[in-house]
């Protein structure tokens, strides 16, 4: 009896970890944009978190060569065409830092990070979007922007709307 | 010019109707501008309350709720955060500073906030303003207490005064049984006015919150005689176990987003981190519907005012049959008659708008301190906003357009109409 109790105690932390899950909604991605400053030559980062289904088309670990190829191709497209998905002010250049797939229980997420360098000030300029042009399954993106002292949020549906960087 | 003076004299001739019409347009205009002022004022006030804070962290729950109780002292937390987790994030390499808050007690309707020296050092409002002391210093000992400016003013407390805080945040006087009577605090400082919710709280050390609850068990105060005497309590032997939430500043903005994700997925304790500006934006979007409804109501009020003007001008035409006939007899063409009436109605709406602006200025000056005191809402006395000017312009234009209705009637009336006697 004691052994059973001890075993169940051991199992407890494992269980509690498994019970916590992030919200996961297909077609709904999250984009975070951060700039340290908006004047001078700003540097920043952009990160995208999207259900893998919306980008790759499936959410299981790619095992067959066909699936692997599909995944590679989708991630390559993401890297190559990210500038069309997030249109930063002219003069800002994004370089991929990390693009990977995270498996979480029955779901998988694509996590992409890009570093940004801008040639000139971006204050007063705007950021627009074109997610569904590249990945038609992304309908809605929750965008958070931190730029200098500005903190803003925008729900982008079907690429509509733009975010203005504060002056 | 002749027309203008004619219109002016004709309006002056009917002084009572004219002034009533102007008053009704003025009142509705004041209402419209007032609603706009309060809307802008509320947004600015809220946005100015917190600056330079990257994240607000608390127990997992609604993001809006976390913002409201941590910054605006509205509502309360459903769960607390362990002090251990707080220390973990405070010592995180990406973190520049943190301000912990422990809420839940009150004094005569004002909330008591347990915090640390960081609050006085790091809290910023209106972009870069820091907390200042009007008198005294920050609390150093367990039973030291600092008053917000409004608290000091409305309760009339001075430095050195003894203050007993109450358990819970019931409005008015705390429930007598729940007073922490055995452990009074001494006022060591009074904060300078900030015009933010900071003014309406009392501040003690985190250890002070622990000290007043030390002998409490199962939510009830200790039996008389069983309390740990205040003399035995020192800052060193008080162990803080939990706090309600904390504000956090990161070293870089890029780290903020990363840290937010780390906190939200912290496996040790369910916590959430929100970006205050973003959550505030969510709040405005929610309140936006109510604001829109209010705006629609005020626009209808303006319409009623303008309709009133139309009615008064239209009915006055009956009395002015003779006047119109004489004007036409001495050579005023139909165009002149139309222009005269349109000008009259334009003048009325312009006067109404001016009266509205004057009224809203006057009311703002009178009520600004009262609103600030009561609601902590700083409504600025300022010239109309861009939207305000648009409203004013559209009402004057609408007034001119409405003038065409009586003008059309006067134009249609036969020349002989005013000269013949109606039977």
Predicted confidence band of residue B213 (pLDDT cuts 50, 70, 90): confident
Is residue B418 within 8 angstroms of chain A, CB to CB? no
Residue that wins the pLDDT comparison between B380 and A62: A62
Q: CA of A165 to nearest chain B CA: how many angstroms apart?
A: 14
% chain A with pLDDT above 90:
74
Whether the pLDDT of residue A136 is over 90: the answer is: yes
Q: Give the Cα separation of A69 and A60 in Å (integer).
A: 14
The pLDDT tens digits for B348-357 are 999 999 999 9
A91 SS3 class: coil
* pLDDT number for residue A19: 66
Contact B102, B167 (CB under 8 A): no
Residue identified by tokens 């990257």 is B54
Residue-wise pLDDT for B174-204, tens only, equals 455 667 777 899 999 999 998 888 999 999 9
Residue B45 in this model has a pLDDT that exceeds 80: yes
Interface list for chain A against chain B, based on CB atoms closer than 8 Å: 17, 20, 22, 32, 34-36, 44-45, 47, 144, 146-153
A100: domain range?
A: 23-164
Compute the distance between CA of residue B81 and CA of residue B79 in angstroms, rounded to an integer. 7
Of residues A34, A148, A149, nearest to B254 (C-beta): A34
Predicted pLDDT of residue B346:
92
Q: For position B416, what pLDDT does the model report?
A: 65
Q: What count of CB pairs under 8 Å joins A to B?
A: 44
pLDDT tens digits, residue range A95-129?
A: 999 999 998 878 899 999 999 999 999 999 999 99
Distance between CA atoms of residues B137 and A60, nearest Å: 60
Interface with B, mutate which of A48, A49, A153 (most B CBs under 10 A):
A153
> Residue B99: pLDDT above 90?
yes
Q: Is B286 on the interface with A (CB under 8 A)?
A: no
CA distance B171 to B76: 13
Q: Is the pLDDT of residue A16 over 70?
A: no
Nearest CA in chain B to A113: B258
Distance CA B368, CA B374 (A): 10
Contact B254 A151 (CB under 8 A): no
Domain assignment present for A64: yes
| Chain-chain contact of A20 with B270 (C-beta, under 8 angstroms) | yes
Looking at the complex, report in whole angstroms how far the Cα of residue B86 sits from the nearest Cα belonging to chain A.
Answer: 20
Query: What chain A residue is nearest to B249 in terms of C-alpha separation?
Result: A149
% of chain B with per-residue pLDDT over 70: 95
pLDDT of residue A1: 47
| Position B376 confidence tier, pLDDT thresholds 50, 70, 90 | low
H or E stretch covering A157: strand A150-157
The DSSP result for B53-77, as a single string, is --EEEEESS-HHHHHHHHHS--S--
Q: Which residues of A touch B252 (CB under 8 A)?
A: 36
Instruction: Decide if A144 and B270 are in contact by the 8 Å CB cutoff.
Output: no
* Partners of residue A147 in chain B, C-beta under 8 Å: 253
The closest CB to that of B275, out of A17, A44, A144, belongs to A144
Which secondary-structure segment (H or E) carries B2?
helix B2-13
Residues B163 and B157: beta-carbon distance below 8 Å:
yes
User: Which helix (H) or strand (E) segment is B302 a member of?
Assistant: helix B276-319
Return the residue of A nearest to B264 by Cα.
A22
A104 located within any domain: yes
DSSP A136: T
Query: What distance in Å separates the CA atoms of residue B380 and residue B388, rounded to the nearest whole number?
Result: 14
Place B396 in a pLDDT band, splitting at 50, 70 and 90.
very high
- Strands B201-205, B144-147: pairing is antiparallel
Confidence (pLDDT) at B171: 52
- Mean pLDDT, chain B, rounded, equals 88
- A20-50 pLDDT, tens per residue? 677 788 889 999 999 999 999 999 999 999 9
Residue B422: its pLDDT value, please?
62
> Which of B52, B253, B270, B278 to probe by mutation at the A interface, max A CB count within 10 Å?
B253
A3 domain-assigned: no
Instruction: Report CB contact under 8 Å: B277, A148.
Output: no
Number of domains in chain A: 1
Q: Let me know: does B110 contact B201? Beta carbons within 8 Å.
A: yes
Yes or no: say if A132 and A158 are a contact pair by the CB < 8 Å rule: yes
Most confident of B112-116, B127-131, B175-179, B310-314: B112-116
**pLDDT tens across B242-287, in order?**
999 999 999 999 899 999 999 999 999 999 999 999 999 999 988 8
Q: Is B257 close to A47, i.e. CB distance below 8 A? A: yes
Mean pLDDT for A122-139 is 94
Residue to mutate among A30, A144, A151, with most B CBs inside 10 A, is A151
Query: Of B153, B148, B175, which is closest to residue B164 (Cα–Cα)?
Result: B175
Average pLDDT of the segment spanning B166-181: 65
CA of B46 vs chain A CAs: smallest distance (Å): 14
Does A54 have pLDDT greater than 80? yes
Nearest residue to B107 (alpha-carbon basis) of B15, B17, B18, B175: B175
- A134 vs B235, residue with greater confidence: A134
pLDDT in tens, B337-347: 889 889 999 99
Residue A95 within any structural domain of the chain: yes
Residue A76 lies in a domain: yes
Nearest chain B residue to A148 by CA distance is B253
Q: Pick the more confident residue, B168 or B255.
A: B255
Phi and psi for B50 in degrees, rounded to 5?
-135, 125
A129-139: average pLDDT:
94
Model pLDDT, residue B410: 84
Mean pLDDT of all residues belonging to chain A: 87
How far is A33 from chain B, CA to nearest CA, in Å? 8
pLDDT the model gives residue B279? 94
């Amino acid at each position: 009896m004691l052994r059973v109790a001890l075993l169940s105690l051991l199992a407890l932390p494992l269980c509690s970890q498994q019970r916590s899950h992030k919200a996961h909604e297909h077609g709904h991605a999250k984009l975070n944009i951060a700039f340290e400053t908006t004047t001078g030559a700003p540097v920043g980062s952009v990160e995208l978190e999207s259900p893998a289904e919306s980008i790759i088309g499936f959410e299981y670990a790619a095992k067959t060569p066909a699936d692997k190829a599909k995944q590679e191709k989708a991630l390559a497209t993401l890297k190559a065409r990210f500038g069309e998905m997030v249109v930063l002010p002219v003069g800002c250049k994004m370089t991929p830092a990390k693009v990977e797939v995270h498996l979480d229980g029955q779901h998988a997420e694509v996590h992409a990070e890009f570093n940004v360098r801008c040639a000139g000030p971006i204050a007063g300029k705007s950021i627009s979007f074109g997610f569904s042009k590249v990945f038609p399954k992304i309908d809605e993106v929750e965008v958070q922007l931190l730029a200098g002292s500005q903190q803003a949020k925008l729900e982008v549906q079907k690429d509509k709307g733009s975010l203005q960087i504060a002056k | 010019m002749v027309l203008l003076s004619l219109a002016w004299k004709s309006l002056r001739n009917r002084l009572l109707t004219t002034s009533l019409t102007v008053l009704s347009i003025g009142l509705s205009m004041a209402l419209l501008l007032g609603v706009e002022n309060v809307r802008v004022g509320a947004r600015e006030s809220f946005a100015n309350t917190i600056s330079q804070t990257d994240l607000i962290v608390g127990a997992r729950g609604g993001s809006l709720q976390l913002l409201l109780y941590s910054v605006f002292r509205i509502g309360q937390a459903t769960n607390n955060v362990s002090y251990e987790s707080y220390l973990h994030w405070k010592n995180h390499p990406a973190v520049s500073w943190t301000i912990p808050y422990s809420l839940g007690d009150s004094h005569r309707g004002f909330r008591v906030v347990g915090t640390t020296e960081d609050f006085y050092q790091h809290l910023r409002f209106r972009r870069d303003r820091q907390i200042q002391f009007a008198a005294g210093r920050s609390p150093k000992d367990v039973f030291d207490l600092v008053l917000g400016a409004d608290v000091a003013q409305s309760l009339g407390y001075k430095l050195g005064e003894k203050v007993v805080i109450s358990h819970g945040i019931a409005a008015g006087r705390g429930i007598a049984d729940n007073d922490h009577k055995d452990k009074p605090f001494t006022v060591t400082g009074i904060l300078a006015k900030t015009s933010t919710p900071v003014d309406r709280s009392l501040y003690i050390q985190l250890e002070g919150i622990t000290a007043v609850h030390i002998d409490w068990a199962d939510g009830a105060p200790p039996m008389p005689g069983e309390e740990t005497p205040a003399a035995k309590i020192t800052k060193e032997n008080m162990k803080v176990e939990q706090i309600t939430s904390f504000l956090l500043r990161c070293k870089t903005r890029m780290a903020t987003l990363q840290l937010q994700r780390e906190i939200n997925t912290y496996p040790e304790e369910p916590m959430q981190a929100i970006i205050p500006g973003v959550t505030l934006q969510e709040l405005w979007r929610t309140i936006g519907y109510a604001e829109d409804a209010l705006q629609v109501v005020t626009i209808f009020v303006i319409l009623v005012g303008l309709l009133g003007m139309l009615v008064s001008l239209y009915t006055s035409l009956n009395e002015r049959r003779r006047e119109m006939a004489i004007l036409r007899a001495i050579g005023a063409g139909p165009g002149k008659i139309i222009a005269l009436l349109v000008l009259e109605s334009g003048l009325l709406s312009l006067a109404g708008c001016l009266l509205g602006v004057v009224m809203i200025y006057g009311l703002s000056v009178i009520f600004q301190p009262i609103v600030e005191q009561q609601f902590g809402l700083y409504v600025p006395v300022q010239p109309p906003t861009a939207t305000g000017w648009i409203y004013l312009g559209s009402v004057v234009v609408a007034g001119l357009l409405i003038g065409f209705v009586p003008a059309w009637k006067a134009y249609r009336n036969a020349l002989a109409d005013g000269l013949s006697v109606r039977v």
